[in-house]
A and B are shown apart, each in its own frame.
Chain A
Amino acid sequence: MSDDHDELHLEMHRAIDQLGKYAIKLQLDFGVGKSKSEIKALINEVMMEVTDRCMQHGADVIGHVKSFLVAPEGNLMSSIVEHGESAAIKDGLKADSLKGAEFILHVIVHGIWDDEVREQTLEVLEEVMPRYGVSYKILDDYYEVEKGMDHHN
């Protein structure tokens, strides 16, 4: 490959390092059970709030805020790419209520760094989950892994 290509390639990929990335996997406990509509409202609030907090703390573009909730009864796939918009939720859940589920949240924004994204995300989870009476356990915190994705420096 030529030097010109190397130069462009390097420049292009340095741009990736301007993205703040964070992912977390949770086990959600809905107690005696939560209805599908309540779960969707919870997901929407978490995702909208994370988006809003990131923008308030310096992000200028949302790459994406996506989540994947999975249970034996099916899944809910959700996505936000625009600040102030509700989550688009694709319903693949066959049950009307759930007692628990795994929940993966993945945030990529432009303009702030991974540590800020993580801080805002964790704060939102701590605030919103109790309001819905949902307890949760962190199964995986991908902060170090995601941070390690910076490259081409």
Chain B
Amino acid sequence: MKVSQIAGFLGSGKTSALMKIASRLVEQGNRIAIIVNDVGEISIDSRFVEANGLEAKEISGGCICCQIAGSFAETLAKLHDSFNPNIVIVEPSGVAIPWGLKRAAEYSEVKADMIVEHAPVITLVDASRIDMLLKAVRRLVETQIREADVCFVNKVDVATPQGIATTEEFIRSINERAEIAHMSTTTGEGIDLACEVIVNRISPRYDDSMEEERLRSQYGKKGGN
């Protein structure tokens, strides 16, 4: 079972992207399950997803990458045993850490007879308000980009060329290895690429030593800033 996560700060367009991507993948014949984890107890995003004719499992009460990792793993295991999707798309809370979610997903292997495979981590970055985000919540945005395999510069239909350029430059400055692409759920740009990334590519499993090395190389010192 492949687990795909679509990360990004609040308001980056995760829910809209997820609905477009999931619908496209269903059209292509995939069995898709969706897990939504909002910041708060009230998962309004899962209501949005279900109102679009997609089935969503809502996990609330904390962050799935740590606080309620057990619930997340349990949900994955139950999905495997009941619906047996080939792809589970996870919309984390907007403050989740991608490697934490990978690790949590792998917990499910002890709860069901399955092997978890990770799709590349997709992070959406809102190019239409990049300046404000960098000013106020830079640390959060940075961490989600740092963990991404593919970064989509989102809302390119409404962002200025300068906003798009700033976003690309920012992504490149903190994650040289990430593939950068554009997305707009309004025009549909980037949706096919996101589907291709999820279906055909694989991201490494959680590896403590690899993450350790990444921390060192990106922060310049062990575990610090």
Enumerate chain A interface residues (CB-CB to B < 8 A): 1-5, 7-9, 11-13, 15-16, 18-19, 21, 23, 25, 60-64, 66-68, 70, 75, 77, 81-82, 90, 92, 104, 106, 108, 110-111, 142, 145-146, 148-149, 151-152
A77-B15 Cα distance, complex, nearest whole Å: 12
- Is the CB–CB distance between B128 and A66 below 8 Å? no
Alpha-carbon separation in the docked complex, A104 to B48 (Å): 12
Return B199 CB to nearest CB of chain A, in Å: 26
Q: Is B195 an interface residue (CB 8 A)?
A: no
What are the 8 tightest A-B residue pairs by CB atom distance, in nearest-first order? A4-B223, A81-B11, A63-B10, A23-B42, A145-B41, A61-B136, A106-B44, A16-B95
Select which of B40, B47, B97 is within 8 A of A9 by beta carbon: B97
Q: A104-B47, A149-B62 are in contact. Are A12 and B136 (CB under 8 A)?
A: no
Which single member of B45, B51, B63, B128 contacts A82 (CB below 8 Å)?
B128
**Docked complex Cα distance between A20 and B143 (Å):** 21
The verdict on B78 contacting chain A, using a C-beta distance below 8 Å, is no
- Residue from A3, A63, A77, A82 within 8 A of B94 (CB atoms): A63
Within the complex, the shortest CB–CB distance from B47 to chain A, in Å, comes to 5
CB pairs A–B below 8 angstroms (17 shown): A2-B212, A4-B212, A5-B223, A13-B66, A13-B97, A19-B10, A21-B39, A23-B42, A63-B11, A68-B48, A68-B51, A75-B51, A77-B51, A81-B126, A104-B42, A111-B136, A149-B41
Whether B135 and A60, one on each chain, are in contact in the complex, defined by CB atoms closer than 8 angstroms, is yes
Nearest A-chain residue to B67, judged by Cβ: A151
Q: Give Cα A9 to B67, complex, Å.
A: 11
B27 interface residue (CB < 8 Å to A): no
Docked Cα-Cα span, A19 to B47, in Å, equals: 22
Q: Tell me which of A4, A60, A77, A149 contacts B48 (CB under 8 A).
A: A77
Known: A9-B66, A142-B41. A15 touches B95 (CB 8 A): yes
The answer, among B42, B135, B208, for a CB contact under 8 Å with A142, is B42
Give the B interface residue count (CB, 8 A): 42
- Are B44 and A16 neighbours in the complex by a CB distance under 8 Å? no
For residue B187, give the distance in angstroms from its CB to the closest CB of chain A. Answer: 15
B137 contacts A110, C-beta separation under 8 Å: yes
Q: Which of B40, B128, B222 contacts A4 (CB 8 A)?
A: B222
Query: Least Cβ distance of B196 to chain A in Å?
Result: 26
Q: Which of A5, A9, A61 contacts B132 (CB 8 A)?
A: A61
Residue of A with least CB distance to B10: A63
Instruction: Please indicate the chain B residues that have their CB under 8 angstroms from the CB of A92 in the complex.
Output: 51
Give the distance to chain B from A5, nearest Cβ to Cβ, in Å: 6
Chain B residues closer than 8 Å to A110, beta-carbon distance: 136-137
Kindly state the separation between the CA atoms of A12 and B103 in the bound complex, as whole angstroms: 16
Which residues from B are CB-within-8-Å of A148? 41
- Contact of B140 (CB < 8 Å), options: A3, A12, A104, A106: A12
Instruction: Check B40 against A106 for contact (C-beta < 8 Å).
Output: yes
